[in-house]
Amino acid sequence: MNKTFRQWTVTALIASLCLPVASPVFAADAQTSPTSDATPTTHIEQMASPTPSATPSTTPEAAPSPSTEPAPTAENTDATVKTNAATPSVVYAVHTQNIGWMDETRDGVTAGTTGCCLRLEALKLRLDGMPYAGDIVYRSHIQNIGWESEEKSAGALSGTEGQGLQLEAVRIRLTGEIANHYDVYYRAHIADAGWLGWAKNGESSGSSGYGLRMEAIEVRLIPKGETSPIETAASSRKAFCEMGFDFNAHVQDIGWQDSVGNFGMVGTLNQSKRLEAIRLLIDDPVYAGNIRAMVHMQDIGWNQGWVDGGIAGTTGQGRRVEGVRLELTGATANKFDIYYRAHVQNIGWLGWAKNGQAAGSEGFSYRMEGLQVKIVPKGAPAPGDTSDTYRIYVPEIIIPNFDLICAVVQQEGGASYEGALAVISCIMNRADSGRWGGHDPVSVITAPGQFSAYLDGAYTRYLGCSSIAVQNAVHDCIGKGVRIHPFQSFRSYPTPGSTFIVNQWFF
């Protein structure tokens, strides 16, 4: 074998081993640069699998340099905005109670904890692998602070550290060119409710007004125009729960007013127009339960009873509302208190009543003109003065030993109108029966072995200083015949067939 033949053989062998293997990247390049087939590759796995049908190039000097960029095509004409072919990711980390900053997660992976009762206190978000100009911005709703005044971006801290304050809600959105190509979706895991529905593009996620901590969060980017698996498989639950309610009133010469929210007022001031009906409904409940109402109506009194989530009062009859009672039901009542106050003809604003107490007036024929309502977390301070919530006009009634009766009733039933009315109703039921020591309230109270408040002398602490609510209850029951039950006995613990009223079991 001569030298020329040997050189040709070696050259051919080397050329055959350096032929490229097709790949998605190279295949795309081949369409825009036909001579790229001759470009050598350095991948060992491709050298081991030559393509037999390839024809070695005899003009290697014509092959483009590996560092040469392909000519512009229709796909990359927006290169001023699109920086590379990567798929963007959203990266996020959270600061968790008792843990601190947790590791970064991305693209829908849960950040935080579930089932551990640990609050989120801060979060950071950023974008990675950006093919477009733009950023991700976000803000948090913080316990005792509310919504942050400014949005954060590019991995900046949103929330607080070292203050023990929980995150309660977030808002996240994209800016710049990437916002034209992607949607950002996110959802919150909150205490007592678990995972809420998905929010997107700046919508609120979490809760407000409930005092519920965020415990975890998930965030994802979805290309615009795609059918999002998040949307099609999303929970039917709302993404954001805000403590509030639909609250409106039917007013003389006006009809139904627009609804107002928590701490809002319905009715009118300084227009001499009567309230005729009210309607309240919690519109974004996290807990089971609702608001129920009872109104004292002209010529009807309290006889309509409780209305749960509906219309309390009348329309089209020209009857004024004179008083109102509101209370929460179900699990909501265990978490919140409801306060309310009445604006009454010739009186103005009265004090704030709470959880079923009466507000307004009775016996004066005064119209209620306005009503304000506020729901607060259980045990939170009242929004204002809680005295003088309800005024009753009672014609002069001579009740012998009235002060003694009121003192015993308050010792037994407490200072509320309802508790006192329950006790005095029991006393008067006994007086009617004649089987408990006499036919009048004092004889029943002082009968041997009956009321411990009298027997041990504890009632004396209230002589001359019983509450106005107790005095009103005693007046109503003895002087006007108002009773709220038919029972003749009560205890602090249940018995078979007994009924719980305020703080006692009656039977």
Please indicate whether residue 43 or residue 71 has the higher confidence score (pLDDT).
71
Domain residue spans in the chain?
3-71, 89-241, 245-392, 402-506
Q: In the prediction, which pLDDT does 452 show?
A: 83
Query: Within a 13 Å sphere around the CA of 275, how many CA atoms are in the beta-carbon half?
Result: 32
Query: For residue 408, what is the enclosing H or E element?
Result: helix 402-413
Confidence of residue 316 (pLDDT cuts 50, 70, 90): very high
Average pLDDT, rounded, for the chain: 81
Confidence of residue 127 (pLDDT cuts 50, 70, 90): very high
If you average pLDDT over residues 215-227, what whole number do you get?
91
CA distance 109 to 221: 12
Q: In the prediction, which pLDDT does 49 show?
A: 36
Confidence of residue 41 (pLDDT cuts 50, 70, 90): very low
Q: In the prediction, which pLDDT does 401 show?
A: 86
Confidence of residue 223 (pLDDT cuts 50, 70, 90): very high
CA distance 454 to 448: 10
Please indicate whether residue 222 or residue 227 has the higher confidence score (pLDDT).
222
Lowest mean pLDDT among 87-96, 106-115, 439-448: 439-448
**Model confidence at 106: pLDDT above 60:** yes
**Model confidence at 231: pLDDT above 90:** no
Lowest mean pLDDT among 62-71, 105-114, 364-373, 449-458: 62-71
Q: Which pair of structure tokens corresponds to residue 499?
A: 């009924």
Report which of 137, 203, 207 is spatially closest to residue 168, judged by C-alpha positions. 207
pTM value > 0.85: no
Q: In the prediction, which pLDDT does 284 show?
A: 64
pLDDT digits (tens, 9 = 90+) for 250-287: 999 999 999 888 888 999 999 999 999 999 887 767 78
Residue 4 burial (CB < 10 Å; 0-12/13-18/19+)? Answer: exposed
Lowest mean pLDDT among 65-79, 95-109, 233-247: 65-79
Q: In the prediction, which pLDDT does 5 show?
A: 46
Using a pLDDT cut of 70, give the percent of the chain over it: 80
Q: Which pair of structure tokens corresponds to residue 220?
A: 């994802």
Q: In the prediction, which pLDDT does 236 show?
A: 60
CA distance 167 to 442: 58
Lowest mean pLDDT among 19-33, 106-120, 348-362: 19-33
**Model confidence at 67: pLDDT above 60:** no
Query: Within a 13 Å sphere around the CA of 173, how many CA atoms are in the beta-carbon half?
Result: 11
CA distance 453 to 424: 13
Question: Look-up: residue for tokens 């006393």?
Answer: 427
DSSP assignment letter at 202: T
Please, which residues have CB within 8 angstroms of residue 466's CB and are 6 or more apart in sequence? Answer: 403, 406, 407, 409, 410, 415
CA distance 128 to 142: 27
Q: In the prediction, which pLDDT does 74 show?
A: 35
pLDDT digits (tens, 9 = 90+) for 487-504: 999 888 998 888 898 888
Confidence of residue 230 (pLDDT cuts 50, 70, 90): low
Query: For residue 336, what is the enclosing H or E element?
Result: strand 336-344
Per-residue burial over 219-248, b = 16 or more CB atoms within 10 Å of its CB, e = otherwise: bbbbeeeeebebeeeeeeebbbbbbbbbbb
**Model confidence at 482: pLDDT above 50:** yes
**Model confidence at 89: pLDDT above 70:** yes
Question: Look-up: residue for tokens 């050329």?
Answer: 15
Q: Which amino acid is at 420?
A: A
